Structure 1
Amino acid sequence: MRVLGLMSGTSADGVDGVLASFAGPPRRPRWRIEAHHFSPYPTDLQRRLIALGQGQPLSSAELVELAEAVTEEQARAARACDPAGRASLIGCHGQTIWHRPPQQGRRGASWQLLQGPLLAELLGRPVVFDFRSVDLALGGQGAPLVPPADQALLGRCGGWRAVLNLGGISNLTLIPPATGPERHQAVRGWDCGPANTLLDLATRHFSGGQLAYDADGAWARQGRSDENLIQLWLQEPYFQAPPPKSTGRELFGQADLERRLAQLENRPPADALATLTGFSAAVVGQELGHGPQPVEMLVAGGGCRNGLLMGQLVERCRGLIVRPLAELGIAEAEREALAFALLAWWHVRGHRGNAPSVTGARKAAVLGLCARPQASAWPM
């Protein structure tokens, strides 16, 4: 079955589309990526989404219009990735604008902006969306949802295998080994903390809005990081808490950046960016201590293109083989869109898509809602 996965992450820079085919048993399917395309959001739409994620109030009318705009951009991305309309099913994550993990007896909540039925009508195909709400209703974090897909798509090796995503937020998957006494353990995963969120916000701040990100860490390379401050930041409650845990711009956004820049005491921009880059890598190094020690770490996400960040990862994860996920056939920008294509396929197969060992949900469940176009009947 061909499925088109659509993913827009915390950075809100656009939509990655992956057209993939799946067959065989859901737990270990045969799969193939047939196409990938990235469709950037218009600059004004990205600005509005980031502002909303940072808590900027909007009227009901403005929220509806924003949801329509996001849905139309998802449709545009789908057509660009699959112009011949070969996919019989769409899996769309939508654009996260707010995420609240469970805390102190209060259930979690997460809002992915999307009008699923409208997207189904625009594309003329069924759309599986709203993947997080069932896990949240079962007491889970609602995130991350990709670890079970990582395990199904990548398989196991001789030891624990880590998969790191360097998006706006960094998150880890830990896949149990193929052999040995730990082979029966469940997949693990959690959000580590900021990867590109603070870096991108700081780059926009220091460049007066002229730069959206520090390409290859070139600006940060000109500065010197403050290791003492990095070690102080690593003592903050989120980084000391054990999994399951998830986070987003709500914790690591503009207000958090302003607090950290104040602690940097007006040092040169290059020093601030160097420190924030080192911090993003140090977070991962420390978070690896919350689980079993992996033998290798496969890295994906936009942060892969930041050579300084990657170098810092290698330095701070000493003894660990760090290599691109692309070496296993999934390019850095394809992983999450491919995962949501698989989650959509699991939905129609009735296969449970979350992992309680990752999210803390009371049980595993089939994820997502399915919106079907009304113009014609689509057998599922």
Structure 2
Amino acid sequence: MSKTLAIGIMSGTSGDGVDAILIELDSVRERHEPRVLDHAFVAFPAELRAELTNPTALTLPRLSELHAELPRRYAEAVRAIDGWSHCKVVGMHGQTVWHSPPSAQASLGHRVPNTLQIGSTAILAEALGRPVVGDLRAADMFHGGEGAPIVPFAHWFFTPAEEAGRLVVNVGGIANITHVTARLGEVRGYDIGPGMMIADYCTRRLSGGDYEYDKDGVLSCGGKVDPGVVESIMAHPFFAKAPPRSTGREDFGIDYASRLLERFAELSARDLLTSVMAVTARCIARAALAELEGVGSVLLTGGGAKNPTLVRLVKEFIPLPVSRADAGVFAASHHEPAAIALIAARTQAGLPSSLPSVTGASKPCLLGHIAYPTPG
């Protein structure tokens, strides 16, 4: 059986930079945990991060410019990977600047569900001389799905069959969960609410810009949970929606976080940050203990999994084994780009990578289009 080398590229809602990973797949059809051959991270300048975390303030000319600029930065990350030129395909998620799924129609008032991830696949294909798969969410949304979360198929694919019952929790800017079941068609997954998006904004504001995020929990360590903060966030209409559902900065971005900060200005930074993270922990607990059946363990990944305060709160709220992956495809910086690499390899092979049981789409979809480099 021939092996496939695939690269995945991910720049998430935190806007801090781009992760790129090279994985070796034994098969694009049979579930297994692929080998991570190398990983690279390229940080974005502070000015660019400020733009990407407040995309509705971008002008149309700047948005168009970023569509051409970002793939050049992505190419820099790929070239930092040892052995990148041996890859068969590159998957590029792009930078989400707007996400308006079916579940948001009432609140956002769109005429048709839509999502926009910028970053030209054609430019990246030319820069690397490799086929690039991008625009990964649109097909699922066309068929009635949320287009998100996009990683549950990979969570199932990467998890050994004997570990069915695992709840994989991806704590990025937004937090989403995947309940890995024995049968693919029974996998459940959805966005559960804000991950580190609100906490990151509050950290920047409260530290006067000295900290971009609560690194190692230094600002939240020893904080107490304020019930008022938790109740205020949990009153958001998003939490009343039944799955399938997805969310983003349209619900919990800068505008929302700044209002929250003003409302609870009397709280210490430690208590406010701890309270915001308690919302994420509470949502994880609700999914594991009330909304899903048969959850046997919890695996934390994504940037939030590195925060000791959040991990402590999750363990306090959930009477189940809770762990964090520090290596392999489920490591915090690996699992999203690894999922994108898998999607790219399957799309190149003509195989779907979406799950109707997760997104609500009418059928499994082939995700993305392929941009080929000019020969020669």
Range of TM-score over shorter length = over 0.9
Question: Residue 141 of structure 2 corresponds to which residue in structure 1?
Answer: 136
Partner of 2:90: 90
8 Å CA contact 2:11, 2:93 repeated in 1:
yes
Paired residues for 1:73-222 under 5 Å: 73-82=73-82, 85-102=85-102, 103=105, 107-157=112-162, 159-177=164-182, 183=183, 186-222=186-222
- 1:27–1:212 CA distance, 2 compared to 1 (3 A): same
The residue number in structure 2 matching 1:180 is none
Compare 167-176 and 101-110 and name the one that shifted more: 101-110
- Flag the 1:294–1:327 CA change in 2: closer, same or farther, 3 A: farther
CA distance in 2, matches of 1:26, 1:276: 40
SS in 2 for 1:189: strand
| One-letter identity of the residue aligned with 2:101 | P
Partners of 1:168 and 1:195 within 8 A in 2: yes
In 1: Cα distance, 2:46 partner to 2:140 partner:
33
Aligned to 2:291: 290
Q: For each residue in 1:64-99, what CA deviation from the matched residue of structure 2 results, as whole angstroms up to 9, or x when unmatched?
A: 211222111111111112455121210110111111
| Cα shift at 1:231 | 3.7
* 8 Å CA contact 1:220, 1:277 repeated in 2: no
TM-score when normalising by structure 2: 0.92
Equivalent residue letter for 2:121 = G
Compared CA separation, residues 30 and 213, structure 1 to 2 (3 A): closer
Shift of 1:185: 5.1
Letter in 2 for 1:124: G
Q: Distance in 1 between matches of 2:371 and 2:58?
A: 29
TM-score (normalised: structure 1)? 0.91
Q: CA deviation at 1:280?
A: 2.3
Q: Name which of structure 1's ranges 21-30 and 124-133 shifts more when overlaid on structure 2.
A: 21-30
1:373/1:329 Cα in 2 relative to 1: closer, same or farther (>3 Å)?
closer
Structure 2 residue runs of 5 or longer lacking an equivalent are none
Please, what is the CA RMSD of the aligned residues? 1.9
Q: Give the C-alpha shift of residue 34 in structure 1.
A: 0.8
2-structure distance, mates of 1:121, 1:61: 22
Q: Which residue of structure 2 lines up, in the alignment, with residue 9 of structure 1? A: 12
Residue 50, structure 1, aligned to residue 56, structure 2: no
Residue 252 of structure 2 aligns to a residue whose secondary structure is coil
Whether 2:363 is the aligned partner of 1:367: answer no
Residue 107 of structure 1 deviates from its aligned partner by: 3.8
Q: How does 1:343-362 map to 2 (within 5 A)?
A: 343-362=343-362
The percent identity for this pair of structures is 35
Deviation (angstroms), 1:50: 1.3
> Where do 5+ consecutive residues of structure 1 fail to align?
178-182
1:329 deviates by 5.6
For residues 72 and 306 of structure 1, what CA distance do their matches in structure 2 show? 31
**Structure 1 residue 157: deviation in Å?**
3.1
Q: Which range moved further: 151-160 or 7-16?
A: 151-160
Matched, 1:276 2:276: yes
Letter in structure 1 aligned against 2:42: S
Question: 2:50 aligns to what SS in structure 1?
Answer: helix
Contact 2:7 2:84 in 1 (8 A): no
Write the deviation string for residues 40-80 of structure 1: whole angstroms up to 9, x where unpaired.
Answer: 1122211111121xx2141x322221122211111111111
For 2:316, give the aligned amino acid. Answer: E
Q: Which amino acid aligns with 1:97?
A: V
Write the distance in 1 (CA, Å) between the matches of 2:91 and 2:328: 23
Q: After TM superposition, what 4+ stretches of structure 1 lie above 3 angstroms from structure 2?
A: 104-107, 326-330
Q: Judging changes above 3 Å, is the alpha-carbon distance between structure 1 residues 120 and 158 closer, same or farther for their aligned structure 2 residues?
A: closer
- 2:34 touches 2:329 (CA, 8 Å); kept in 1? no
Tell me the CA shift for residue 327 of structure 1. Answer: 6.5
Q: Write the distance in 1 (CA, Å) between the matches of 2:271 and 2:329.
A: 36
Code of the residue aligned with 1:338 in structure 2: it is A
SS at match of 2:41: strand
Distance 1:30 1:212 in 2: 33
Q: 1:158 to 1:16 in 2, by over 3 A?
A: closer
Aligned residues: 367
Does 2:311 correspond to 1:310? yes
Distance 2:185 2:12 in 1: 29
Structure 2 distance, partners of 1:329, 1:169, is: 19
Map of 1:22-41 to 2, 5 A cutoff? 22-24=25-27, 26-29=29-32, 31-41=34-44
1:18 aligns with 2:29: no
- Name the SS of the counterpart of 1:223 in structure 2: coil
- Equivalents in 1 of 2:309, 2:212: separation in Å? 17
Report if aligned partners of 1:154, 1:328 keep a CA contact under 8 Å in 2: no
Deviations 1:103-152 (A, max 9, x none): 35954211111111010000011000111010011111000111011111
Q: CA deviation at 1:287?
A: 3.2
**1:221 Cα shift?**
2.0
One-letter code aligned to 2:333: A
Counterpart secondary structure, 1:224: coil
